């Protein structure tokens, strides 16, 4: 099951800017080698954070207005949003541990029940 939603320009505001919780946006291009290398990591994180963080992808070739509005100068660019605000930006391939740690800070796991 794919936990990452592909968005176009018309869906961005409702799916990202108006989302109630944290959203990770992967701005990518289909011809971009590093973007392809990032995909497996994002799929793994999307499965791990399924109930806590929304994961979306935006093809910058199909959404040049979004790329311009968010000042995307290189791909991949990963942006973390909450409440319509950009909380963090990673340009290029992010360090997997750093990205996971940042997601944990934005959307901590519910405390486990103790026996």
CB contact at 8 A, 107 and 54: no
For the record, the structure tokens of 47 come out as: 């499965």
State the catalytic residues: 32, 35
46 CB burial (10 A radius; 0-12, 13-18, 19+): buried
CA distance 106 to 52: 9
CA distance 5 to 37: 18
């Amino acid at each position: 099951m794919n936990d990452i939603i592909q968005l176009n320009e018309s869906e961005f505001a409702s799916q990202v800017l108006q989302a109630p919780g944290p959203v990770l946006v992967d701005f990518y291009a289909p011809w971009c080698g590093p973007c392809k290398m990032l995909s497996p990591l994002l799929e793994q994180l999307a499965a791990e954070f399924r109930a806590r963080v929304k994961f979306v992808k935006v093809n910058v070739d199909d959404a040049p207005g979004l790329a311009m509005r968010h000042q995307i100068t290189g791909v991949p660019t990963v942006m973390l949003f909450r409440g319509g605000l950009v909380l963090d930006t990673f340009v290029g391939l992010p360090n997997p541990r750093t990205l996971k740690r940042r997601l944990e800070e934005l959307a901590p796991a519910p405390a486990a029940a103790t026996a």
